Every structure is written in C-alpha cells, then in structure tokens.
Amino acid sequence: MTTAAPEAPLLPGRRVLVTGARRGLGAAMVETFAAMGAGGVAVDLPGTPWTLPAGWTGVDADVTDEAQVAGAVAHAAGHPDGIDGVVAAAGVVPTWQEPGDLDLDDLDRVLSVNVRGVAAVLKHAGAVLRPGSSVVVVGSLNSWRGDPRIWSYVASKHAALGLARSAAAALGPDGVRINCVAPGPVATDALLDRMRSRAGSTGLSPEQALAAAADQTALRRTATTADVVNATAFLLSDLAAGITGQLLPVDGGLL
C-alpha cells in the first residue's frame, strides 16, 4: 500500500486583500487562505481589535469611502511582495420589504456598500495588480435571479456581477482575472438572524427555513461556509488560470 504525498498548499505565497473580513464569509476566507499558504490584508469597518493569522494585517476602512479603499489597497500593495489577489466580500442585506414599501433611502445604503464598494475596490486594485493576479467578487444567487421582497439586494448583486464582468474585459489584456462567486443560502449567523426576523412572515423557524432551502437543491443541502470559501480559493489559484468573467454558483445545485 502506498501513501499519498501531502497536498501542496493551494495559494502558496499569494498576497490577498479581503474586504468584509471581520465576520462571516470574509473572516472564514482569511483563516482558510492562511492555511492554504496565503498572507495579506483584512479590511472592514472599525471594530474589535483584529485577531488574524500569521502573515496577515488588519486595516479599518469603510468600502463606501473611496479614499479609505484607496488607502487600504495602497497599504496592501506597499508590501515588498505586493498584492496578487483580491476578494470583495463586504456587503449588506436589507430587511424584507413588500414592493409598495420599498425604502429608497435603504436602497441607496445597499447600493453604496454592495455596488459602490465593489467598484471602488476594482478601480484601485486594478491599478496595482500584476499579471497572474485574480479578483473574486462575492455575489449571490440573486446575481442571476430576482426576489419579490429584497429588490435593493437583487439590484446590487446584479450590478456587482456586471462590474466583475466589465473589469474582466478591461483587465484581461493585463493578465488579471476577475470572477464572481454566487453563494446560495449559507447558515452564517447573519442569515440565521434574518430567518428569525422573518419567522413571523414565513411561519418557519430558522431550522425549518434552512431545511426548506435544502429541499430546493439537487444535493438536498444548502452550501456551507467552507464550500464558498473553497470555491473562492479555487478562483484565486492558478488552477483557475483560464477562467475569467464568470459567475460560479455555490448553492448545492439550486433547482
């Protein structure tokens, strides 16, 4: 019987900037990328002191403020090894609203984070990324389908996909790849909180809502945080060297 050699790390020596990195998917990405051999910069709104893996530094920044985004990118690019990966994971999800109750101020807030924030990251990172670099924008299943109660979120995630595809066309000649990952429902604390708040409307507990979502997939399970993080790492890695301008659903095969 032979023993398989240890797998090489997927992201050896990569330098990655991750926005929305204090909690949820963004925080999980930093931890996993570090285990895969990457270092880099974690970016999010000011909060508790950063606790990050070796090789990572934290920068407090609001993605809706272009100057702060530019500063975070400059900090990352100022490292001796520069930067060759970006994940735009910062985002907000609004509360459910019936169409006639759509709050346009809330729409502005969602678009400011989910669209303006992504645009600012792509603008400033695109100016410093070298050939072979990769960017992943965190979209959603709502990047390709609508929802009757979260118009602003759907609009923002459609726009984020448009930004990613446009950036892919613009930066492709420079050897930079841009893709979008599209998670389905993932049982993060934020999603469970939203499901609790919607229980009065749906009549479903968070556990029941997750089970219902799982029943709509080919795999009969919802995607996990690890599923989304691993798909993002793949898109950042050299294994995806021929992929750009694409939307990669990670949703268990949503039917």
CATH of the domain at 91: 3.40.50.720
Would residue 206 count as lying in a domain? yes
Residues 115 and 45 in one domain: yes
Tell how many helices (H) and how many strands (E) occur in the chain. 8, 7
Q: What angle do CA 48, 49, 53 make, to 5 degrees?
A: 120
Q: Per 3-state DSSP, what percentage of the chain is helix, strand, and coil (rounded to 5)?
A: 45, 15, 40
pLDDT band at 185 (very low <50, low <70, confident <90, very high): confident
Residues 115 and 201 in one domain: no
Residues 81 and 193 in one domain: no
**Per-residue pLDDT tens for 24-82?**
999 999 999 999 999 999 999 999 999 999 999 999 999 999 999 999 999 999 999 99
For residue 72, the Cα-to-chain-centroid distance in whole angstroms is 17
Residues 149 and 200 in one domain: no
Residues 124 and 197 in one domain: no
Q: Name the β-bridge partners of 43.
A: 19, 59
Would residue 84 count as lying in a domain? yes
Q: What angle do CA 28, 87, 221 make, to 5 degrees?
A: 50
Contact in structure between 59 and 73 (CB atoms under 8 Å):
no
**Per-residue pLDDT tens for 120-149?**
999 999 999 999 999 999 999 999 999 998
Would residue 3 count as lying in a domain? no
Mean pLDDT across the chain = 92
Report the pLDDT value the prediction gives residue 194, as an integer from 0 to 100. Answer: 66
Residues 155 and 215 in one domain: no
Which sequence positions are flagged as catalytic?
153
pLDDT band at 200 (very low <50, low <70, confident <90, very high): low
Would residue 107 count as lying in a domain? yes
Give the residue numbers spanning the domain of 58.
Answer: 15-184+226-249
Rg over alpha carbons for the chain, rounded to the nearest Å, is 18
- For the sheet with 177-183, list strands across it: 56-60, 39-44, 15-19, 85-88, 134-138, 177-183, 247-250
- Residue 185 phi/psi, 5-degree rounding, is -60, 130
149: left (phi over 0), alpha (psi -120 to 50) or beta: alpha
Higher pLDDT, 179 or 94: 179
Report the pLDDT value the prediction gives residue 3, as an integer from 0 to 100. Answer: 40
Residues 230 and 110 in one domain: yes
Q: Name the β-bridge partners of 179.
A: 136
Would residue 51 count as lying in a domain? yes
Report the pLDDT value the prediction gives residue 2, as an integer from 0 to 100. Answer: 42
Distance (Å, whole) CA 211 – CA 72: 39
pLDDT band at 192 (very low <50, low <70, confident <90, very high): low
Report the pLDDT value the prediction gives residue 199, as an integer from 0 to 100. Answer: 65
pLDDT greater than 90 at residue 212: no
Would residue 152 count as lying in a domain? yes
Residues 42 and 90 in one domain: yes
Provide the percentage of residues in the chain whose pLDDT is more than 70. 92
- The Cα-based distances of 56 to 67, 132, 138 in angstroms read 22, 21, 20
Report the pLDDT value the prediction gives residue 6, as an integer from 0 to 100. Answer: 47
Residues 210 and 143 in one domain: no
Distance (Å, whole) CA 94 – CA 212: 21
Would residue 5 count as lying in a domain? no
Q: Token digits for 204?
A: 């479903």
Give the number of domains in the chain.
2
**Dihedral sign computed on CA atoms, order 31, 32, 33, 38:** positive
What single DSSP character describes residue 7? P
Higher pLDDT, 173 or 195: 173
Report the pLDDT value the prediction gives residue 49, as an integer from 0 to 100. Answer: 94
Residues 104 and 194 in one domain: no
**Per-residue pLDDT tens for 112-122?**
999 999 999 99
Distance (Å, whole) CA 72 – CA 124: 9
Residues 108 and 168 in one domain: yes
Would residue 1 count as lying in a domain? no
**Per-residue pLDDT tens for 225-251?**
999 999 999 999 999 999 999 999 999
Write the CB contacts of 202 (distance below 8 Å, at least 6 apart in sequence).
Answer: 195, 209
Residues 207 and 136 in one domain: no
